[in-house]
Amino acid sequence: LQAQTALRLGEVDEEACVLSMLDARINEIYYAVCEFEEGLALVREGPRACPAADLVVEASGATLRAVGSGCHFAGDLPETIRARVRSWAPELLPHARDLVPLALAGLARGESQQAQEVQPVYVRDEINWKKLAEQGKTI
């Protein structure tokens, strides 16, 4: 969705390979790598959650456009990833309206289901929260 928003706002073009990142808190990011076909964002890798230093992009050699709040971890990303990023847009957030073209395309492909069958996609199986004492903070 964030990549679709980036396209609509002109942050990227349809030839871009987008590294979409969100700050997942606790020094981690949620990310996905997206490309576009006929004006629609398609997830090529992910979604995944990891510390920024562990981020891996399998699309070898592709120049990346990074978008989203996870860009604030740019300094923690592996140098091999940072070197591939042509532009950074940390202020870009997904807009619900950009779900509409994606949903309509899915509906045209026959991808529909009953509302009670809808399930969220969990990027990780457990919550990595820490108590204040474990974070080194005093109460």
pLDDT tens per residue, the chain (139 residues)?
Answer: 999 999 999 999 999 999 999 998 888 999 999 999 999 999 999 899 999 999 999 877 789 999 999 999 999 999 999 999 999 999 999 999 999 999 999 999 999 989 899 888 777 665 555 555 666 666 6
Here the CATH number for the domain that contains residue 113 is 3.30.420.40
Cβ proximity of 90 and 69 under 8 Å: yes
Full-model pTM: 0.83
Q: Which domain holds residue 70?
A: 2-135
Q: Kindly give, in sequence order, each residue whose CB lies less than 8 Å from that of residue 99, ignoring residues fewer than 6 positions away.
A: 1, 4
Instruction: Tell me how many domains the chain contains.
Output: 1
Interatomic CA distance for residues 59 and 33, integer angstroms = 8
